[in-house]
Amino acid sequence: MSTPPAPLRVALVNGSFEEPAVIDYEILPDASQTQAPKRVPGWLTTASDHMVELWHSGFLGVPSAEGAQFAELNANEVSTLYQDLPTTPGTTLYWRLYHRGRLGEDTMALDIGAPGSTVEQRRFSDGNNAWGHYTGTYVVPPGQTLTRFAFRSISAAGGNRGIGNFLDGIFFGTAPHVVLDKAAIPAGPLEVGDVLTYRITARNEGGGTAEALVVTDTIPPGTSYLPGSLRIVDGPGTGPKTDAPGDDQASWDPAANRVVFRLGTGASATDGGSLPNTETLPGGTTAEYRVVIDRAAGGRLISNTATAGYENRLGDTPEELTATSNEAVTEVAPAADLSVTKAADATTVTVGQTVTYRITVRNTGPNPATGVRVTDPLPEGLVFLSAEGDGSYDPDTGHWSVGELAVGATAALVLRAKATRPGPVRNTATVTGNETDPDPSGNTDSTTVCVTPAPACCDPCADGRGSAGAR
Q: Average pLDDT of each block of 10 consecutive residues along the chain (471 residues)? A: 60 95 96 95 95 97 97 91 95 95 95 96 96 96 96 89 90 95 93 96 95 97 96 92 83 95 94 93 96 94 97 91 97 96 95 96 96 95 95 94 96 96 95 94 96 66 46 36
Of 148, 173, 198, the position where a domain reaches its end is 173
The per-residue pLDDT for 461 is 61
The per-residue pLDDT for 470 is 38
Q: Is residue 435 part of a domain?
A: yes
Q: Is residue 5 part of a domain?
A: no
Q: Do both 241 and 308 map to the same domain?
A: yes
CB within 8 A of 143, min separation 6: which ones? 89
Q: Domains in the chain: how many in total?
A: 3
Q: Do both 221 and 130 map to the same domain?
A: no
Q: Is residue 19 part of a domain?
A: no
Of 134, 151, 173, the position where a domain reaches its end is 173
Distance in angstroms (rounded) separating the CA atoms of residues 249 and 469: 55
Q: Is residue 16 part of a domain?
A: no
Instruction: Look up the CATH number of the domain holding residue 117.
Output: 2.60.120.260
Residue 382 and residue 425 in contact, taking contact as beta carbons nearer than 8 Å: yes
Q: Do both 294 and 358 map to the same domain?
A: no
Q: Is residue 345 part of a domain?
A: yes
Q: Do both 273 and 320 map to the same domain?
A: yes
Q: Is the dihedral of CA 269, 272, 274, 279 positive or negative?
A: positive
Q: Do both 359 and 258 map to the same domain?
A: no
Q: Do both 41 and 149 map to the same domain?
A: yes
Instruction: Look up the CATH number of the domain holding residue 282.
Output: 2.60.40.740
Instruction: Look up the CATH number of the domain holding residue 349.
Output: 2.60.40.1530
The per-residue pLDDT for 5 is 54
Q: Do both 189 and 292 map to the same domain?
A: yes
Distance in angstroms (rounded) separating the CA atoms of residues 63 and 118: 31
Of 289, 314, 331, the position where a domain reaches its end is 331
The per-residue pLDDT for 364 is 95
Distance in angstroms (rounded) separating the CA atoms of residues 264 and 212: 8
Q: Do both 236 and 149 map to the same domain?
A: no
Q: Do both 341 and 311 map to the same domain?
A: no
Q: Do both 310 and 184 map to the same domain?
A: yes
Q: Is residue 12 part of a domain?
A: no
Q: Is residue 56 part of a domain?
A: yes
Range of the domain at 102: 25-173
The per-residue pLDDT for 242 is 84
Distance in angstroms (rounded) separating the CA atoms of residues 15 and 70: 9
Q: Is residue 18 part of a domain?
A: no
Q: Do both 239 and 366 map to the same domain?
A: no
Residue 437 and residue 335 in contact, taking contact as beta carbons nearer than 8 Å: yes
Q: Do both 327 and 345 map to the same domain?
A: no
